[in-house]
Each structure stands twice: as C-alpha cells, then as structure tokens.
Amino acid sequence: MGTRRNDGAGGTGGSGEIDPVATAGRLVRWFDRNARDLPWRRTLDPYAVWVSEIMLQQTQVQTVIPYWTRWMERLPGVHELADAPPELVLKLWEGLGYYSRARNLQRAARCIVDEHGGRFPREAAALLTLPGIGPYTAGAIASIAMDHPEPILDGNVMRVLTRLAALEGDPRKEPLNRRLWEWATTLVHAAHSTHALGDRRCSRLNQSLMELGATVCTPGARPDCARCPVSDACAARRRGSQERYPELAPRVPITPRFFATAILVHQGRHLLTLRGDTGVNRGFWEFPSWEIASSASPEKVLGEQLGIPGDAWSALPDLRHHITRYRMIQRVRLAHASPSPAAMAEAAGRGSWLWATEAELESLPLTSAHRKLARRLPAFLAESPQLSGGPAGPTVAGQ
Ligand code: SF4
C-alpha cells in the first residue's frame, strides 16, 4: 500500500508502513459492497444504535435480531424505556444474559430524560457519563449515528488491527491497547478528512472494521484473506501467521458449580422465589435453589431446607448451563408441596415468593437456566402424572 507512516501501528510487531487514507478508503468501499442488511443499520436513531450495541456485546448478531426487534416495538425511545416497569425490561432481555446491561440501559435512559431533557447526547464525552457506556459504546454511537470521527475498539477490531500490522502483545493490556486506540483514531480521522468517500464516512469506516472482523477476519487459523480489502497490506498474511494474532491472554479455566434445585408442585402451580436486591440476577424469578458440593445429596439438602423427606423427591435429569467461566450443573428434584405450601415458600426464603401457573411461568422474567427448566417442565410432569397436581388453584404469593 502507500507510504504514509501510520501513527498507531508501528512498534512491537514490525508492522511496516500502512497508509491510513488508502486503508480507510479500501475499507469503506468494501463495506459499501459487503455490509450485511441488519435492522439497526436501517436507522440513524442513536437510541436504536445504542440498544443494538449493548445487545451485541458478547452475543451473536443472529441471536440479537429478534431481541432488538421486540425491544424496539415495546420500548421505541428513551422515554418509553425510562418509564417502563423494570420487570418488563428484564423480560425483554431474558436469555441474553449479563443482565446488568439491561438495568444500565434503563438507568441511562432515566439520566437522559432527567438530565438531558430527553434528548440523546450527541458527543462521545457526554455519552461516557451515562451508566453502562464505555469508550467503545460511546465511539460506536457517536460515529454510527452522528458520523463523528470517534474511534471504536472491540474484539473484532482488535483482531483486524493486530493482524494487519502483526502487533505483538495482549491487545487488552497496555501498551498495545493504547496503541490500537490511537490507530483506530488515525483511521477514522483519515476517513473523516477524505471527502471523496462521501456521506457518513466515519460511520461506514467504523462499521467496516466491525464487519471485516465479524465476517472475513474471523478468529482462528483461517480468516478469509482472499476476500479482504486490505490483504495487500496485511503483515500477518504475508508471514502466514494470521492465527497468532491477537495474542490474547489464555482464558480462565471453566469452574463447575453444583446446585440443588427444587420443583415444588401444588395444585398445578410451581414455587418461584424472587432474587433479592443484590447479585447479578436480582429482579429475576427462579425455582428454589441452593449451591451444594459436587458430592452432596440434593435430596438431603432440599430436605433440610424445605422439610420434605428424602424419599418424597423424584430425580429429574441434570440441567447444565454455562455462564462466563462457570459451568452450572443443577441437580433437579421434584416433589409435592404439602402439607403447608405457604410455610414451604417461607422456608425457601429470599424475600418474595409466588406459586406460579404455567402461564405465569411464561410471562415472568426467569434466568436463562431456570427458563430452560421451565420449558422442560411439561415433559417432566407428563412422565410423572401423579405429581402434576391437576388444574391450578388460586394465586398464592407472599413476601
Ligand atoms: Fe485479516 Fe487476512 Fe485481512 Fe489480514 S488479510 S486483515 S488476516 S482477513
């Protein structure tokens, strides 16, 4: 490629010289021809862009599309989000995980209404003051929705930039992280100053980096370099060492955690307890559950907690669920709640409780693991008709 020195790419990897103007031009034109048609790309509404960016953190595009569509139908703007019942916000987020993201969206919407008169902040510096918005998200909103020359740097962009210049070191740590931000800034400024690239060139440049990382410069040993618009300049491709970059620190090993989980049946209803005011899953309902040692007897633990003898429990298949670095294994046991369902609910503790019908199970926000369990319940109960308990009785709830 050209001869201008790139400010951000030099250093540990021996990147050679990469012309930011030529690189930005190739990326933008490639994006124009190859961008996927995603629903949030059909709008310049910063609220819609913000919601998409938060949902896309740690989550695949195809998973996000129906969530984003549903969210925008129910909560189409900051005022609707600020005023929404928290339970609705969590319900719309259910299954995406990392629920603090949903809570922060609502906190930020309330800040925008209370402190910005309901007008979405336009500058990255103002966006950075909102809960849940860090440098990447502020840059993404300001560039994509407002076309400001603000940089972005996420996992996809790190991969593209570290390969392009064969940059050694962990891109999440200094000094490489700072150098990558500088390079991302150089590229978006190069696009901004190149009027021949047409309208919305900062937006298109940043999205081209994201798109290239997501669809062509993919993780692992075989990025699709033949389709890459900047392959001529790519140091990793020249060396045949694409899989070496980025040099991320090894993942933390997965830790198994075991739980005894009780499905209690009473008059066609199931006992749920509400997660309290603290912890990652607060505001969600779940079947009563206690963390146990891998060797512990779930019947014994549940018997001690709920006063139901060990031989009254039926064993259901274990339920496995991955959350970040944990593999959760739920030992699920099912029993009739008798003779006093209210006392049993109190024993399950944790604040509010509810004997829920199947319809209520569907409408309440449940954590992903317990949603899986709720979806399997009809099949479990069909195999154990003596436990189904007949039609649901009246609502019973307490605190
Ligand atoms: Fe990634 Fe290959 Fe393009 Fe280099 S040439 S940036 S490794 S896709």
> Within this chain, do residues 125 and 239 fall inside the same structural domain, yes or no?
yes
Angstrom distances, CA of residue 365 to CA of 69, 286, 368: 18, 9, 9
How far apart are alpha carbons 281 and 201 in whole angstroms? 40
How far apart are alpha carbons 93 and 86 in whole angstroms? 11
> Within this chain, do residues 188 and 261 fall inside the same structural domain, yes or no?
no
CB 22 within 8 A of CB 1: yes
Report which ligand 1 atom has the smallest distance to the Cα of 159. 1
> Within this chain, do residues 188 and 238 fall inside the same structural domain, yes or no?
yes
> Measured in angstroms, how far is the CA atom of residue 161 from the centroid of ligand 1?
9
Backbone dihedral angles phi then psi of residue 60, each to the nearest 5 degrees: -70, 150
How far apart are alpha carbons 141 and 145 in whole angstroms? 5
How far apart are alpha carbons 15 and 4 in whole angstroms? 13
Tens of pLDDT, residues 127-172: 999 999 999 999 999 999 999 999 999 999 999 999 999 999 999 9
| Residue 359: inside a domain | yes
How far apart are alpha carbons 66 and 255 in whole angstroms? 31
| Residue 350: inside a domain | yes
> Within this chain, do residues 51 and 89 fall inside the same structural domain, yes or no?
yes
> Measured in angstroms, how far is the CA atom of residue 51 from the centroid of ligand 1?
29
Specify the 3-state DSSP secondary structure of 321: strand
Residues 17, 53, 174, 243: which is the catalytic one? 53
Of 52-61, 116-125, 296-305, the range with the lowest mean pLDDT is 296-305
> Within this chain, do residues 272 and 226 fall inside the same structural domain, yes or no?
no
- 341 has pLDDT over 80: no
Q: Say whether the peptide bond before residue 246 is cis (omega within 30 degrees of 0).
A: yes
Pairing verdict, β 289-292 and 285-286: unpaired
The strand ranges marked E within the chain are: 255-266, 269-274, 285-286, 289-292, 314-315, 319-323, 326-336, 353-356, 396-398
Annotated catalytic residue 53: yes
User: Pocket of ligand 1, candidates 242, 245, 247: which has the most ligand atoms within 8 Å of its Cβ, to mutate?
Assistant: 242
| Residue 15: inside a domain | no
| Residue 262: inside a domain | yes
How far apart are alpha carbons 72 and 9 in whole angstroms? 39
How far apart are alpha carbons 224 and 212 in whole angstroms? 10
Tens of pLDDT, residues 53-101: 999 998 999 999 999 999 999 999 999 999 999 999 999 999 998 889 9
**Residues ≥6 apart with Cβ < 8 Å to 347:** 305, 306, 307
> Measured in angstroms, how far is the CA atom of residue 42 from the centroid of ligand 1?
28
Of the candidates 186, 218, 244, which is a domain's last residue? Answer: 244
Backbone dihedral angles phi then psi of residue 84, each to the nearest 5 degrees: -70, 145
CB 143 within 8 A of CB 158: no
What pTM value is reported for the model? 0.81
DSSP state of 101: H
Residue 4: count of CB within 10 angstroms of its CB: 15
164 Cβ inside 6 Å of ligand 1: yes
H-helix or E-strand spanning residue 110:
helix 100-115
CB 286 within 8 A of CB 94: no
Average pLDDT of the segment spanning 228-233: 97
> Within this chain, do residues 188 and 324 fall inside the same structural domain, yes or no?
no
283 Cβ inside 6 Å of ligand 1: no
> Within this chain, do residues 187 and 228 fall inside the same structural domain, yes or no?
yes
How far apart are alpha carbons 171 and 249 in whole angstroms? 9
217 Cβ inside 6 Å of ligand 1: yes
| Residue 11: inside a domain | no
> Within this chain, do residues 217 and 317 fall inside the same structural domain, yes or no?
no
List beta partners, residue 333: 262, 315
> Within this chain, do residues 269 and 161 fall inside the same structural domain, yes or no?
no
Query: Mean pLDDT over all residues of the chain?
Result: 88
> Within this chain, do residues 335 and 375 fall inside the same structural domain, yes or no?
yes
Residue 14, pLDDT score: 40
Residue ranges making up the domain that contains 30: 20-244
> Within this chain, do residues 196 and 148 fall inside the same structural domain, yes or no?
yes
> Within this chain, do residues 67 and 207 fall inside the same structural domain, yes or no?
yes
Report the CATH number that the domain containing residue 278 is assigned in CATH: 3.90.79.10
Residue 115: count of CB within 10 angstroms of its CB: 12
| Residue 249: inside a domain | no
Tens of pLDDT, residues 4-53: 333 345 444 444 578 999 999 999 999 999 999 999 999 999 999 999 99
Say which amino acid occupies 47: Y
Number of domains in the chain: 2
